[in-house]
């Protein structure tokens, strides 16, 4: 095994580990291409004048989003599934868990934003 700080973030399964490394390399390659395209367009035609911190934030979001979506759509998180029926059950279960997390996050976000404005005693 190669010694790297990425080992902390990557799964233990060798197949999943290599697939994730390829996906992250694709994200880095696409990010480099997009940055070169935008810098060329910005220098020659458009003068967007975007802030550097905004660009760095958008790059980080793009890399995380691309990696996450490729991981989800590749299906490598379901290595123990052998047929289509099991896959559809697992997919429904994943959707339910995602919706449950989204609802909990929405409620927690709403409470954290409303309570300081109104005050805990009045809100309760």
Domain ranges of the chain: 1-79, 87-124
In tens, the pLDDT along 13-64 reads 788 888 888 998 999 999 999 888 888 877 777 666 666 777 788 888 898 8
Establish how many alpha carbons lie within 13 A of residue 84's alpha carbon, considering only the half-sphere containing its beta carbon. 0
Mean of all residue pLDDT scores within the chain? 81
Q: Look at residue 113 and tell me whether its pLDDT is greater than 70.
A: yes
Helix axes 52-74, 14-44, angle to 10 degrees: 140
The predicted model gives 54-79 an average pLDDT of: 82
The predicted model gives 80-106 an average pLDDT of: 84
The predicted model gives 94-120 an average pLDDT of: 81
């Amino acid at each position: 095994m190669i010694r790297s700080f990425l080992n902390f973030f990557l799964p233990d399964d060798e197949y999943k580990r290599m697939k994730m490394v390829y996906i992250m390399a694709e994200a880095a390659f696409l990010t480099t291409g997009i940055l070169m395209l935008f810098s060329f367009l910005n220098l020659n035609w458009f003068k967007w004048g975007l802030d550097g911190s905004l660009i760095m934030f958008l790059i980080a979001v793009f890399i995380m989003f691309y990696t996450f979506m490729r991981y989800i759509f590749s299906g490598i998180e379901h290595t123990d599934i052998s047929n289509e029926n099991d896959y559809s059950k697992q997919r429904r279960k994943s959707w339910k868990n995602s919706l449950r997390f989204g609802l909990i996050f929405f409620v927690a976000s709403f409470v954290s934003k409303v309570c300081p404005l109104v005050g805990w005693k009045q809100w309760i």
